[in-house]
Amino acid sequence: MMTTSQPMAAEKPLSDRRDERARKKQVKRLVEAFEIFSKRDPEGFRNIAPKLLRKGIYQTRGSDPFLLTQVDNWLEREWKFHHFSEVLPKGNQCYNLNLSSSKGINPRQFKGEKKDWLLNLEERFTEKWERWDASTKDQFIILGMIASAPEGASQGQLIDRLALASDSAEELKEASNTIRAAKIAITRLAMKAGIEDDGGVFAEAEGHGRLRQYRFRDEGMREPTARWLSFHPASVLLPSSSSSSSTSPTLSPDA
């Protein structure tokens, strides 16, 4: 009986395997070298390590405002409470806080919950934003930053944008309560629009402290929300990205 031979998986050339082993060995030795350096000259290592880390992140990820902000926060204070691995995002996403797009949207083009949600935002966030009270401004900023990217925004980013103190445990607790109160108010708007899920438009938060992460539950709701917010006069309150390469998705009204 004849048997058909199975194709063998292509093996890497010997030279490639040697190069790969050499690279791994070099990385290992460099890690050892930095460890020795940090022990023999702790102060010198403290001065140079942050610069090397920032440069490495930039070379690896490019202009990624979300990650660069996370790294800066970690270098400044979060190293006391979190390992660096907790700062790095999963996968290979590049987060962008830029909400700009080429065309706005009209809530009345949509139907159902999406239309009611956007109309509720229109009613809550009037165009004369200079007259808003502090809580309304907080809600707009928090919603805008969470809607600005699929991965949302960290509690540290929100705290910094709202100019809230968070150096002590008591200050962090107070800042967290401010954000929680704003999210509850926004969730009530969502419930008013018929969105009955726990948390309204928001997914369950993950993480702790300044690294606690907030995001939208549904991309189909996040995208029109971000688009509507980006054309609101109060969008000047939101952070903007230095990256001009990002584009906003094209939105179509519900059928």
- Give the alpha-carbon dihedral of 63, 161, 140, 171, to 10 degrees: 140
Q: What is the mean pLDDT of residues 26-47?
A: 91
Predicted pLDDT of residue 23: 87
Q: What is the mean pLDDT of residues 42-68?
A: 78
Q: For the segment 145-190, what is each residue's pLDDT rounded down to a tens digit? A: 999 888 999 999 999 889 888 888 899 999 999 999 999 999 999 9
Q: Is the pLDDT of residue 246 over 50?
A: no
Predicted pLDDT of residue 255: 37
Average pLDDT of the residues of the chain: 81
Q: For the segment 187-214, what is each residue's pLDDT rounded down to a tens digit? A: 999 999 999 887 899 999 999 999 999 9
Predicted pLDDT of residue 10: 57
Predicted pLDDT of residue 102: 45
Q: What is the mean pLDDT of residues 82-96?
A: 60
Residue spans per domain, the chain = 24-61, 107-237
Tokens standing for residue 51: 């610069």
Q: Which residues of 178-211 are buried (b: 16+ CB within 10 A; e: fewer)?
A: bbeebbebbbebbeebebeeebbbbbebeeebbb
Q: What is the mean pLDDT of residues 218-231?
A: 91
Q: Is the pLDDT of residue 52 over 60?
A: yes
Which of the pair, 8 or 32, is modelled with greater confidence?
A: 32
pTM of the model: 0.60
- Within 85-239, residue ranges assigned H as helices are 112-124, 134-147, 155-161, 169-192, 219-230
Residue 213's beta-bridge partner residues? 154, 206
35 closest CA partner among 199, 27, 13 = 27
Predicted pLDDT of residue 232: 92
